[in-house]
Amino acid sequence: MPPRAEEPRRDPSGSRRGSSRATGGRGEPRTGEPGVQGISDARAYTPRGRTVREERQAAGRPTAGGAEQRRTPRGARAGGDPFRPALQVLDGGRAGGGRAGRREPVPAARAAVVRTVPTRARPDDDDDDAPRPPRRRPAGRGPRRPTRPAAGRSPRKPRKPPRLADPRRRLRLGTLLVLALFATIGVRLVFLQAVDTPAYAGGGLADRVIRIDLPAPRGAIYDRTGAPLANSVEARYVFADPTRVRDRTETARALSPLLGRPASELAERMKPRTLENGKPSQFEYLARGVDVPTAKKIVALDLYGIGVHRDERREVPGGDLAANLIGFTSQDMVGLEGLEARYDDLLRGEIGRRVYEAGQGKLDAPIPGGYSSTTLPKPGSSLQLTIDRDLQFKAQQVLKSQVAKVQGSVGVAIVLDVPTGEVLAQASHPTYNAAKPQESEPTDREDAATSFVVDPGSIHKAITFGAALQEGVITPDTALPIPDTIVRGDTTFRDTHPANGRRMSLPGMLAYSSNVGTIEIADKLGPDRLIDYQKRFGLGQPTGEGIPGEASGRLLPAQSWSGSSYGSVPIGHSVDATPLQMAAAYAAIANNGTYVQPHLIKEVISGKDGSRTPGKAPVTRPVLSPANAKALRTMLEAVTTVDGATGLAAAVPGYRVAGKTGTGIRYVDGKQQPGEVGSFIGMAPADNPRFVVAVFVWSPGGGGGAVAAPAFRDIMGFTLSRNRVPPSGAPAPKFEVFPR
């Protein structure tokens, strides 16, 4: 809308639009001109229903040449006409402060509208163009309204109306905002679907995923024939949730006869207790390794707070059979002692796991097409030992009966296969039930063959004689004058069978276990060469048989020898060795002078596919020549054949036996123990040895030697018979103890 001017609009000719002057006369306005048939027609009538002319005539005023005036008389006061404000609004004029309005020229584009500009009404002023005096404002009123500029002055520049908003601009801005909103939502959706999906999916997955452990049974331990010595069976464990048990006493009474435990013990385990984190315990074991039928009975009782779950139990069919070798496991199937501990990583399987999405509550079945992952279990591998179950049983039985005669506290029996070095039996006494290890003492569970450290005594003399033969110091026909005693350092050494200075053959020295003759031979050999052969025969280092915690023994270095060491070391004192080390040394003599490492593992059976892998090949090394080894075996036969010899009780009817008796000392933590260690190690048939048997018996009161030889005889006889070894074809040679 154009700004409204303070003065009425005029035509270029100077006449007002819409007035009678614009027509060129005071007649009626021409049709189609501004002010005709518009709002001015309505203004030609007063609110009283009369025309302007009638109003003028009533007021006694001229009608300007008889033409009808469509203007309101200047003398009419707006205040006297209650409809004047409404007409001014319709006319688009401004209130005149109680004065009559003046018509404003109407543009040609808006001819239907006649604007009325308010003017100062004067009753007797008919000249529309005459100047009007300014109106004075009474004192005390508000600020004076702006007046019209005087004639000749430039009118005050009207204020511009506020600029209207551009709808196109609003539309563009709205479109941009909507597009930005959709773009933001789209980018967020991309992040949710592509980038953040794993995080959100993983967060919710834990609430609907079920994990099931797939058991992997522990591998078994078999003897050389495949008979189980230890194996795992499926079982159950019974547990309690103390927070849900309603009546501990009644629940314990119901479980006691099934679990075989006192009701008071079970009730105590069901007693509520608080964990270290301050939360109440919701799981307590009541029993482990419960057989499946018993577990089903417990489930049938439907006791509140009592549950049953899958478990595994280790079974040892033989009870104490080879228990000191096999060892035992914990209730969690972890090897603690013996072969179970040594090969725990091999025997123990890797449990599998199945993970899948499932519904909630009763709809806990796998969701079709949902997440599912299965890791197959890896059953543990099994061990096949070189042990013969029947021979092991016989060795334990004989050892137990013989040790009982002298109230021995420790006994050892070992059976070795000569060509292969396989351990066919390794018995210890006392022993224990591997199925119930908690009922035994720790000392009862030790494997005496590898942990029993002794001064071997006279059985060491075979090593001294073998080294002397190999080094050429002596020959099989050597005979030496042997005095009754000999002094080395501050110690006097004697023989139990004095020679009284006579010449004694090498077989005679062994048969009567001459200390003096052995010391004289060792003097010719020297300490360095003797120690070298001790190492070649396997002394001073673990055999590596496979039992954990095997003792290494100890050899006295040559620089540490005292004067008496030249007498004590050759006869088996000041030397620490285990029964297994000494048995392996005699096996080297029986094997034509070749040392073969004793070992227990025959094969490893894969738990995955059942494939068999042979055990690690044993270490072998030459010690004696076959000729010297045979000569030494022949000399050792005198121990079981010469009249009055020390080993007559070890003779096996029908077989030639070569061996040696010994009387040693036992040491525990470096301290000598009371009593003595009686021993016998021998081989049969002596002309072609197949087996070596070693027996050691320590008794605090002595007398071990009296039972070691008979125990050897019984064990060796059974071994030869079980393996169908034919008797010796030729008798043992005749030995001359004191040659002429």
The catalytic residues are 458
The DSSP call for residue 725 is P
**Nearest Cα residue to 585 out of 574, 573, 572:** 572
Element housing 693 (H / E) = strand 691-699
CB 518 within 8 A of CB 572: no
Report which residue type is found at 471: E
Q: From CA 319, how far away is CA 722, in angstroms rounded?
A: 23
Q: From CA 523, how far away is CA 478, in angstroms rounded?
A: 15
What's the gap between Cα 695 and its chain centre? 47
CB 281 within 8 A of CB 275: yes
Q: From CA 269, how far away is CA 352, in angstroms rounded?
A: 31
Neighbours of 113 (CB within 10 A): 17
What's the gap between Cα 142 and its chain centre? 94
CA angle 668, 672, 677 (to 5 degrees): 85
Q: Which two tokens stand for residue 246?
A: 């309603």
Residue 183: phi and psi, rounded to 5, are -65, -40
CB 346 within 8 A of CB 380: yes
Dihedral, CA of residue 675, residue 677, residue 678 and residue 682, to nearest 10: 180
**Nearest Cα residue to 677 out of 657, 701, 658:** 701
What's the gap between Cα 737 and its chain centre? 71
What residues have CB less than 8 Å from 521, skipping those under 6 apart? 464, 465, 468, 473, 474, 480, 570
**Nearest Cα residue to 500 out of 680, 738, 202:** 738
CB 518 within 8 A of CB 465: yes
Residue 489: phi and psi, rounded to 5, are 70, -125
Alpha helices in 192-236 (DSSP H): 197-208
Bridge partners of residue 599, in order along the sequence: 422
Q: From CA 300, how far away is CA 294, in angstroms rounded?
A: 10
**Nearest Cα residue to 663 out of 708, 596, 716, 629:** 708
CB 411 within 8 A of CB 431: no
Count of helix runs (H) and strand runs (E) in the chain: 21, 27
Alpha helices in 80-124 (DSSP H): 84-91
355 burial level (CB within 10 Å; 0-12, 13-18, 19+): middle
What residues have CB less than 8 Å from 382, skipping those under 6 apart? 219, 220, 221, 222, 347, 604, 605, 607
